[in-house]
């Protein structure tokens, strides 16, 4: 009887020690600031509780990596890492659930939470007679605590990355805004001075001088468009664009955009195929003029002089569509998914036109602000690119059908 009581007492003491150790492990893991700390604490505490060597593996870039071990410096061979990977991917079950470790061989337990395996614990019995029979629940508790801590550390890291990304975006927006305003005033002075020289006809300058003045004015216009793109980008990034919707005819908006783009279109032919039956659209006309201008500018940049830029409008599937087609090289397949990203520039070699990679990003941002879509594709009847703006119609009726009903 006394022997049995002593055995029960020792068993109770052992259980209390385990509970205290688990609590201590949980407390330390909760305080872990990153994945490296999680792996280090988990391997040390698990080794102390189990009296075994422990290695913690955590996936990184699609492959398991050793992030912590105890005793320090303990590592796994290539075969063991392959076995751990099989457990992580769910290809094989855990040997530890049998309740007994093989002597001097590694066994593996998935660290799982919410149905996802976030890591693997590798455990090796050090004593020839050491057994973990009946302790599979302890092992699984350690593995689960480790998984929760991995999940928490990743969440904290993601918050940090998001905060840094927001700060970078804020600083970039502030810089763009500052640069745009600081460049605007001196540029306006330079252009105004060049226009004065041109208008006064400075005969003593000769043809060469007149050409220089024309070049100054042209480059000022280029820089003005660049500054306008920077300002528009900051407006988009800050959410400062609030469209004023009204009913407008696409033909009127196209006419204004062509007038604004007359200098960039000077060396191209412009062909209009604007369907008069396209119903009016509810848009902010000023906002829509900008993406149309940007698309015309892009078409002129990427197509040879004396080629035709075609502007079409038509109604399709409940949308009013405006399509701009050029006769340039077209868009490389690998660029199709990226050309609307900020600062993205297709690598077309040294002959590529100069630019900032903002024009198409701004065009899409403005079109989306008007509840529309902007898509890009290549022509099927020859070389060249096609950009299409699709804007929702109040109904799918054409102008003629609306007049008939009216």
Bridge partners (DSSP) listed for residue 108: 122
Give the pair of three-digit tokens for residue 178: 């500052």
Give the pair of three-digit tokens for residue 128: 């020839």
Domain ranges across the chain: 2-160, 162-238, 246-405
* Assigned CATH class of 162-238: mainly alpha
CB 149 within 8 A of CB 38: yes
- Selection from 378, 369, 372 nearest residue 392 by Cα: 372
- Selection from 313, 317, 316, 339 nearest residue 325 by Cα: 313
Q: Which residue in the block uniquely carries the two structure tokens 């500018």?
A: 297
Segment (H or E) for 19:
helix 2-31
Provide the CATH topology of domain 2-160: Beta-Lactamase (3.30.450)
DSSP helix/strand/coil, 267: coil
pLDDT at 276: 93
Sheet holding 319-325, edge to edge: 269-274, 308-316, 319-325, 385-392, 373-378
Taking only the tens of pLDDT, the chain with its 406 residues reads 655 555 555 444 445 545 555 656 666 776 676 888 888 888 888 888 777 888 999 988 888 888 888 888 888 888 888 888 888 888 666 655 544 445 557 888 888 887 788 888 888 876 543 455 556 677 777 887 888 888 888 888 888 888 887 776 676 666 666 666 666 667 777 778 777 777 766 555 666 777 777 778 777 777 777 777 667 766 666 666 788 899 999 999 999 999 988 888 999 999 999 999 999 999 999 889 989 999 999 999 999 999 999 999 999 988 999 999 999 989 888 888 888 887 777 665 555 566 667 788 889 988 998 999 999 999 998 899 999 999 998 744 444 444 443 4
Cβ density class 97-111: b for 16+ within 10 Å, e for less = eeebbeeeebbbbbb
CATH of domain 246-405: 3.30.565.10
pLDDT at 401: 42
Q: Which residue in the block uniquely carries the two structure tokens 């002959």?
A: 351
CB 392 within 8 A of CB 318: yes
């Amino acid at each position: 009887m006394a022997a049995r009581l002593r055995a029960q007492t020792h068993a109770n003491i052992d259980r209390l020690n385990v509970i205290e150790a688990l609590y201590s492990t949980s407390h330390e893991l909760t305080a872990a600031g990153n994945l490296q700390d999680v792996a280090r604490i988990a391997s040390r505490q698990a080794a102390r509780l189990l009296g075994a060597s422990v290695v913690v593996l955590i996936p990184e870039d699609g492959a398991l990596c050793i992030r912590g071990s105890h005793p320090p410096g303990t590592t796994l061979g290539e075969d063991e890492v392959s076995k751990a990977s099989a457990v992580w991917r769910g290809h094989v079950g855990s040997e530890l659930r049998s309740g007994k470790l093989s002597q001097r061989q590694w066994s593996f337990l998935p660290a799982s939470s919410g149905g996802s395996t976030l890591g693997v614990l590798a455990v090796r019995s050090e004593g020839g007679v050491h057994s973990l029979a009946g302790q599979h629940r302890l092992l699984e508790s350690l593995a689960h605590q480790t998984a929760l801590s991995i999940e928490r550390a990743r969440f904290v890291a993601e918050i940090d990355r998001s905060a840094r990304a927001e700060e970078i975006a804020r600083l970039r927006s502030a810089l763009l805004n500052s640069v745009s305003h600081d460049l605007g005033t001196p540029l306006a002075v330079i252009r105004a001075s060049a226009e004065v020289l041109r208008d006064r006809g400075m005969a003593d300058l000769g043809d060469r001088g007149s050409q220089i003045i024309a070049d100054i004015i042209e480059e000022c216009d280029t820089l003005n468009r660049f500054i306008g793109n920077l300002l528009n980008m900051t407006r988009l990034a800050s959410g400062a664009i609030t469209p004023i919707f009204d009913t407008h005819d696409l033909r009127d908006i196209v006419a204004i955009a062509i007038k604004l783009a007359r200098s960039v279109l000077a060396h191209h032919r412009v062909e209009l195929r604007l369907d008069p039956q396209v119903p009016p659209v509810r848009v902010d006309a000023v906002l829509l003029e900008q993406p149309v201008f940007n698309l015309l500018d892009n078409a002129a940049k990427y197509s040879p002089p004396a080629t035709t830029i075609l502007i079409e409008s038509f109604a399709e599937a409940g949308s009013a569509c405006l399509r701009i087609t050029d006769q340039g090289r077209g868009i490389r397949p690998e660029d199709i998914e990226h050309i609307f990203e900020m600062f993205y520039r297709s690598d077309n070699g040294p002959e590529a036109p100069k630019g900032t990679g903002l024009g198409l990003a701004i065009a899409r941002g403005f079109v989306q602000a008007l509840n529309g879509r902007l898509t890009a594709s290549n022509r099927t009847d020859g070389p060249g690119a096609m950009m299409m703006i699709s804007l929702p119609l109040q109904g799918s009726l054409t102008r003629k059908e609306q007049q008939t009903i009216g």
